[in-house]
Amino acid sequence: MSSPSNQIEKKQDGQGQNFSSNSKFIFLIFLASAFILVGYFLGLPHYYLGWFSFLIAAFSVAGNDAIQTIGTFIESKRRVHWLPKVIVFCGLLMVVIVWSWYKNDGQIHFGRLSPNKNNVGFPYPEQFNLIQLLAPIVLVIITRLKAPISTTFLVLSLFGSKNIDKMLLKSFIGYGVAFCTGLLIWFLLALWKPDEYKREQNQTNSENEKIWSFLQWISTSALWISWLYQDTANIAVYIPRSLNILELFLSIALIALALAIIIKNNGGKIQEIVSDKSDINNAKAATIIDFVYALILFFFGTISKMPMSTTWVFLGLLAGREVILHVVTKRDEPYLVTLRKVGKDVLLASLGISISIAIFILSMILYPKPDSPFQELFNLKSSFYLDR
């Protein structure tokens, strides 16, 4: 048993590490912001500024969305060395991106940025505005604060203002579908094996645990592929819509670098959102969640090319699961506690949408487009003063 003096020393060491980590984070954010600002005002070609924001977006989007895709996997595989995990998921990344590039005439976003039947898409801008370039840095900061913000709303809305209502609608429908799916799937599972879900922890014996551990690699890989199919557009929006071979491998290398750092650091600060939910950290629970989530993402990715918030789908699935398990098992622990935490996540995600919309409105005011309502308002205001 450790003495009080040792406990104080450990606490001080932890505080010192946090201070050092926060200092490095602030310094890196300052350097990245300074580079964009100096490059923007000195006239650095926007092609290169876009690639720099692409790198930041790779860290911020993958880092924020890691809790939905590989978060439960990271949590239950902390004892597994980070290198095999990096090899598997970076290998899948390369295969998926190259396949999309080959099948879609040099595009790595699976057509989600291309114009739809109404000729509304997310065109590559001739000149980026400052808010577009700085958005990934804002996302890095919010992720550091452990808020599960929607990268789709924060990033893509700045490039396709006409699509924000469609993205919102599809995302809220996705939340509802995921919530109902969670209710149904875990209601059936709880009826099938009620004793298993009434335990303090959803545990399996050692032999079954090995099987589920292997299956988790498969389910998480499927989920990772489904997520790339949906959300690669959130990163690729900063680079040309059609890439040559050099640009293709540069994009893969930058995303892989970001992913490797995230996995090596066990998900970073935002991973605590998953770590707090102790009842979904074993291999069986994580495998089922990942597999169901992958199917939902694949379903929505297939029926429509319009981007959506995968964050809201993930929260909807978890919420449906926790609600039905609490109702069926009639236990306050651990599901009611988890339900409160899921409610907190939804509140933070709602706050994230509010921040995203606020940044979107600020961008439209500072950089109004000819067909935006803010430009019409500006024209009316200018006309009023000119008439006087």
Q: What is the spatial distance between Cα 61 and Cα 163, in angstroms, rounded to a whole number? A: 19
- Please check whether residue 286 lies inside any domain of the structure: yes
**Contact assessment for residue 120 and residue 132, using Cβ atoms and an 8 Å cutoff:** no
- For the segment 303-329, the average pLDDT, to the nearest whole number, is 83
pLDDT per position as a tens digit, 61-91 = 777 776 667 776 776 677 778 888 889 999 9
HEC string of the chain equals: CCCHHHHHHHHHHHHHHHHHHHHHHHHHHHHHHHHHHHHHHHCCCHHHHHHHHHHHHHHHHHHHHHHHHCHHHHHHCCCCCHHHHHHHHHHHHHHHHHHHHHHCCCCCCCCCCCCCCCCCCCCCCCCCCHHHHHHHHHHHHHHHCCCCCCHHHHHHCCCCHHHHHHHHHHHHHHHHHHHHHHHHHHHHHHHHCHHHHCCCCCCCCHHHHHHHHHHHHHHHHHHHHHHHHHHHHHHHCCCCCCCCHHHHHHHHHHHHHHHHHHHHCCCCHHHHHHHCCHHHCCHHHHHHHHHHHHHHHHHHHHHCCCCCCHHHHHHHHHHHHHHHHHHHHCCCCCHHHHHHHHHHHHHHHHHHHHHHHHHHHHHHHHCCCCCCHHHHHHHHHHHHHHHC
Q: What span, in angstroms and rounded, lies between the C-alpha atoms of 321 and 133?
A: 38
| Confidence (pLDDT) at 385 | 40
What average pLDDT does range 161-177 have in this prediction? 84
User: What is residue 247's predicted lDDT score, i.e. its pLDDT?
Assistant: 95
- Asked if the structure places residue 93 within a domain, the reply is yes
Segments forming the whole domain that contains residue 133: 50-376
* pLDDT at position 207 over 70: no
Q: Supply the pLDDT for residue 73.
A: 75
Q: Which residues have CB under 8 Å from 18's CB, separation 6+?
A: none
Task: Give the largest Cα separation in the chain, rounded.
Answer: 83
Residues making up the chain, counted from first to last: 388
Of residues 291 and 12, more confidence is placed in 291
| 300 falls within a domain | yes
pLDDT single digits (tens) 219-256 = 989 999 998 998 888 899 999 989 999 999 999 999 99
Residue 357 lies in a domain: yes
Binning pLDDT at 50, 70 and 90, where does residue 185 land? very high
Domain count for the chain, please give it. 1
Is residue 12 domain-resident? no
Query: What predicted TM-score, i.e. pTM, was given to this entire model?
Result: 0.80
Residue 6 lies in a domain: no
Whether 383 is in a domain gets the answer no
Pairwise CA distance, residues 322 & 385, whole Å:
58
- Structural domain contains residue 352: yes
Q: Is the dihedral of CA 247, 235, 298, 107 positive or negative?
A: negative
